[in-house]
Amino acid sequence: MAKGTQGSERRGFEKNLTNYGDRGFSTFLRKAFIKGAGFTDDALDRPIIGIASTGSAYNPCHGNAPQLLDAIRRGVLLAGGLPMDFPTISIHESFSFPTSMFLRNLMSMDTEEMIRAQPMDAVVLIGGCDKTVPAQLMGAASAGVPAIQLVTGSMLTGSHRGSRVGACTDCRRYWASYRAEEIDEAEIGDVNNQLVASVGTCSVMGTASTMACLTEALGMMVSGGAAPPAVTADRMRVAERTGSMAVQLARTGLTPDRIMTRQAFENALRVLLAIGGSTNGIIHLTAIAGRMGYSIDLKRVDAFSRETPVLIDLKPSGQYYMEDFHKAGGVPALLRELRPLLHLDAMTVSGRTLEQELDDAPASFDQAVIRPFARPIYPQGGIAVLQGNLAPGFAIIKQSAASGHLMEHEGRAVVFENAQDMAERIDRDDLDVDADDILVLKNIGPTGAPGMPEAGYLPIPKKLARQGVKDMVRISDGRMSGTAGGTIVLHVTPEASIGGTLAVVQTGDRIRLSVKERSIQLLVDESEIQTRLQAMRIARPDAERGYKKLYLNAVLQADRGVDFDFLMPTADKGAIPAERPKTDPDSSQQAGSPE
């Protein structure tokens, strides 16, 4: 039996021993059991690479997990390590009741505790669908073991009657047409067969694609690892490289805290803004940063947004799909365009700096998907941060996917008290609503629904949809899918169910949205707002037992990433971005006008 080192330097199977009060016996017993699976002492003396495997019949976004696992194992073995895969919770957007967000923190706890409980020198995290990658990075950040992220990759696009389609921007587009009675039952059935053309994550710049790009920008993924589609040879090669790099990580002991630094998070924020990324990205990035002891200063993020143009022409902000982004060069090609705004000395999982990785990435070439910095598709970042008496904490809007004519808008509120109320009334012909009104949905925040569902993309009332209305200002304390677009104000903080101003908005009140001024105002006297709040006597929601009780008692607001309070570290490393955003005033590169 190989002799292990002592204390925190213990490696491989001598790490994290079950406590029987006798270390020698614990090691002896562990090796006896694992040898029952046919392992030799030679195998057990190698660097041990855990692989968090999230394949599940309930998660088609991870449908290639078995092939990825094979490729990771190959990479680990080629580099001289021993792969040990293990299961964790897997979450798919459409198969998670009440919402996937309700379960994200549970998955992060599962991931953290399994990394910590089992012996491994490094871990590969196989994620993909929206909540899985943030959950895994949150868990890995807290566990403190060398870790590397692999994503399953995007699905292919399909074709419906000659039009290219992909989940899920086109899911919403076709469903809106069906609601407006522009297409019939047969056609909506036909398109349902084409929207998801293969396994893999949504094919647009939704939350899964956003988190993949942010992870590469954070340095927690092999260079070029975000964009290859799920069913391609490139994706399998990324998996093999990931396995090999995990062995290198095990040998060097490069832990997540040395990669996910302030500089890395600032790089990730730049990328979030430049890709027209999902609004969920800001919540997840806040949660991951929170696990490292950082808070995200949204006012400073907004300053970033004003100087970071959207360069990626992908749906829902643009026209292309993830497979096009991959063919155009993926994240390395984007990072080259963003170079003046980035911390190029940030460390990555390879043990090399971002600059070294970019220098060695395949050469960029002329293409239509990743725009030059001076010729953006939108002159500012995809996300704008709003504040005002309706959102004293903050709210956000995905300005790159909003309607220009509604970004400065005052209108009458039409209020729905909760998601059920909305479902019952929104399509009624007697609903008193017109196209200039502002739809308000309460009680879909972190504790409200609970689980902060993606119901913030309120449907256009059927009677207006039939008249051809495509967009209205919509406001809620919930989230929306990264694949959705429209003039939609989200994440209103504090949420209605804990007594935010949103709770007292009444139908007929007037609301003013000004994206230019970054303002969202309820045009009601402050004294009247306070009178209404006192009359409501709102108490924080609770549950009788189980995970729901834990969730409701511990969940934080959107500006804290909707994480649990007891998972926060004690160390406070300060706010991100740093007070002075990194800009190069002498740079000749300035964002130009969108085309």
Cα–Cα distance, 466 to 185 (Å, whole number): 16
Least Cβ distance, residue 134 to ligand FES (angstroms): 12
C-alpha separations of 148 from 123, 143, 342, 541, 561 in Å: 6, 13, 21, 37, 22
The residue within the footprint of ligand FES, chosen from 76, 120, 126, 129 (CB under 6 A), is 129
Least Cβ distance, residue 226 to ligand FES (angstroms): 13
Least Cβ distance, residue 208 to ligand FES (angstroms): 4
Of the candidates 484, 486, 520, which has an alpha carbon nearest to the alpha carbon of residue 502? 520
- The residue range among 198-206, 247-255, 295-303, 324-332 that interacts with ligand FES, by the rule CB under 6 A, is 198-206
- Would you count residue 210 as binding ligand FES (CB under 6 A)? no
How is residue 370 annotated by DSSP? B
CB contact set of 514 (below 8 Å; sequence gap of 6+):
407, 408, 520
- The residue range among 22-30, 200-208, 270-278, 531-539 that interacts with ligand FES, by the rule CB under 6 A, is 200-208
**Secondary element (H or E) of residue 241:** helix 233-252
Which residue type occupies 364? S
The residue within the footprint of ligand FES, chosen from 56, 111, 201, 248 (CB under 6 A), is 201
| Residue linked to tokens 């005002």 | 388
- Would you count residue 567 as binding ligand FES (CB under 6 A)? no
Nearer to ligand FES, 195 or 222 (CB): 195
Nearer to ligand FES, 103 or 358 (CB): 103
Least Cβ distance, residue 63 to ligand FES (angstroms): 10
Nearer to ligand FES, 129 or 591 (CB): 129
Nearer to ligand FES, 169 or 380 (CB): 169
Least Cβ distance, residue 513 to ligand FES (angstroms): 28
The residue within the footprint of ligand FES, chosen from 208, 264, 288, 439 (CB under 6 A), is 208
First-to-last C-alpha distance (Å) of the chain = 67
Q: Is 259 helix (H, G, I), strand (E, B) or coil?
A: helix
Q: How many residues bind ligand FES (CB under 6 A)?
A: 9
- Would you count residue 156 as binding ligand FES (CB under 6 A)? no
- Would you count residue 126 as binding ligand FES (CB under 6 A)? no
Cα–Cα distance, 370 to 334 (Å, whole number): 6
- The residue range among 136-144, 202-210, 330-338, 408-416 that interacts with ligand FES, by the rule CB under 6 A, is 202-210
Nearer to ligand FES, 158 or 243 (CB): 158
Least Cβ distance, residue 155 to ligand FES (angstroms): 8
- Would you count residue 91 as binding ligand FES (CB under 6 A)? no
Helices 132-143/100-117 angle, 10° precision: 30
Q: Is 404 exposed, middle or buried (0-12, 13-18, 19+ CB in 10 A)?
A: exposed
Least Cβ distance, residue 68 to ligand FES (angstroms): 15
Would you list the DSSP string of 547-580? HHHHHHHHBPPGGGTT-BGGGS-S---EEES-SS
Confirm if 196 and 162 have CB atoms less than 8 A apart. no
Least Cβ distance, residue 394 to ligand FES (angstroms): 26
How is residue 2 annotated by DSSP? P
Instruction: Report the length, in residues, of the chain.
Output: 595
Report the site for ligand FES in 17-76 (rule: CB under 6 A).
61
Nearer to ligand FES, 156 or 301 (CB): 156
- Would you count residue 206 as binding ligand FES (CB under 6 A)? yes
Cα–Cα distance, 435 to 389 (Å, whole number): 24
Least Cβ distance, residue 322 to ligand FES (angstroms): 10
The residue within the footprint of ligand FES, chosen from 202, 214, 334, 529 (CB under 6 A), is 202
Q: Is 12 helix (H, G, I), strand (E, B) or coil?
A: helix
Nearer to ligand FES, 198 or 201 (CB): 201
The residue within the footprint of ligand FES, chosen from 93, 337, 454, 559 (CB under 6 A), is 93
Confirm if 135 and 143 have CB atoms less than 8 A apart. no
Of the candidates 490, 304, 327, 322, which has an alpha carbon nearest to the alpha carbon of residue 394? 490
Cα–Cα distance, 69 to 124 (Å, whole number): 10
Strands 408-416 and 510-514: antiparallel
| Residue linked to tokens 């003013």 | 512
The residue within the footprint of ligand FES, chosen from 14, 110, 112, 130 (CB under 6 A), is 130
Residues that bind ligand FES (CB under 6 A): 61, 92-93, 129-130, 201-202, 206, 208
